[in-house]
A and B are shown apart, each in its own frame.
Chain A
Amino acid sequence: MAKNKSDVFKAIADPTRRKIIELLMISGALPITAIAGDFKSARQVITRHIYILEKAGLVSIEDSGRERYCRAEYLPLREIFDWVSLYEKFWDEKLDALQVHVKQKNKTGKKMN
């Protein structure tokens, strides 16, 4: 289920797709027909959006009888919005900079307090 982050970003960049996720987060599982019923766009258009979300790992689809039920998957989103992972990247960069800074300082024999 771990998808590429750019797929996830692309998927949520579209307002209709964000609305679909919102709808699923509020309602739990919903059949595609019910989701489409909530939008003015043609059903095929909504279905296409749902498949893009599925490809990004943001929606799972399960067949039940004659309906296809969609459910929001929040894990890929959580990875993106998890600020711990963001700060992790931030500190990796900053610590690299610190390492270089200290090295330079000691190489040039700058005075220390």
Chain B
Amino acid sequence: MRKTIYKEIFCEGPPESVWQSLTNPEEISAWLMQTSDFRAEVGAKFTMQAKPMGKWDGVIYGEVLVAEKFSVLSYTWKGSQMKSTTILKWTLIPESDGTRLKMEHSGFSGLGDYVLGIFHAMGWNRFLKQLNNLIRKNGKK
């Protein structure tokens, strides 16, 4: 199973502008998720609010790990129902007419906790436990 998601986009704006979109709570709320306490400072803790689903309240908890202004931003990303803490890393690369933005979301393990939460709420516990065991037993394929 893949454990890291890599994405890359090109933004029509300088790194300073993209950095602001990634770190300003108002802007984060506009394109990603509702947040009011995000600060681009190492060690700063924050929450983001997604749409609640099933028993999941939709809250994402995070802590800033790296904040190199206009260049690298990294923070932890953990839903209240998630077993593993995942890590997001944003890298901004200036280009002549904009910014290349690379995103890495790593640290996934096991089945989708996000989905598990929903299905647990539906009473599929036993089913998912068996499935999870089977997948572990069978290893990578």
Which A residues are within 8 Å of any B CB, using their own CB? Answer: 18, 21-22, 25-26, 72, 74-75, 77-78, 80-88, 91-92, 94-95, 97-103, 105-107, 112-113
B31–A97 CB distance below 8 A:
yes
B1–A84 CB distance below 8 A:
yes
Interface string of B98-115 (1 = CB under 8 A from A): 010101010010011111
CB A12 to nearest CB in B, in angstroms, measures 8
Tell me the bound Cα distance from A26 to B126 in angstroms.
11
Contacts of A103 in B (CB 8 A): 11-13
Most buried by B among A75, A84, A87, A97: A84
Q: Choose from B12, B114, B141 the contact partner of A86 (Cβ within 8 Å).
A: B114
B114–A25 CB distance below 8 A:
no
Q: Choose from B2, B12, B103, B138 the contact partner of A74 (Cβ within 8 Å).
A: B138
Which B residues are within 8 Å of any A CB, using their own CB? Answer: 1-3, 5, 7, 9-14, 16-18, 20-21, 24, 27, 30-32, 99, 101, 103, 105, 108, 111-116, 119, 124, 126-128, 130-131, 133-135, 138, 141
Secondary structure call for the A interface: helix
Q: Choose from A72, A85, A91 the contact partner of B134 (Cβ within 8 Å).
A: A72
Contacts of B1 in A (CB 8 A): 78, 82, 84
Tell me the bound Cα distance from A69 to B126 in angstroms.
23
Tell me the bound Cα distance from A102 to B10 in angstroms.
10
CB B99 to nearest CB in A, in angstroms, measures 8
Query: Would you mind naming 21 contact pairs between A and B with Cβ atoms under 8 Å apart?
Result: A22-B127, A75-B141, A78-B135, A82-B1, A82-B111, A83-B111, A88-B5, A91-B7, A94-B31, A94-B32, A95-B9, A98-B31, A98-B101, A99-B12, A101-B31, A102-B17, A102-B99, A103-B11, A112-B14, A113-B16, A113-B24
Q: Choose from A75, A88, A101 the contact partner of B21 (Cβ within 8 Å).
A: A101
B105–A91 CB distance below 8 A:
yes
A81–B116 CB distance below 8 A:
yes
CB A96 to nearest CB in B, in angstroms, measures 8
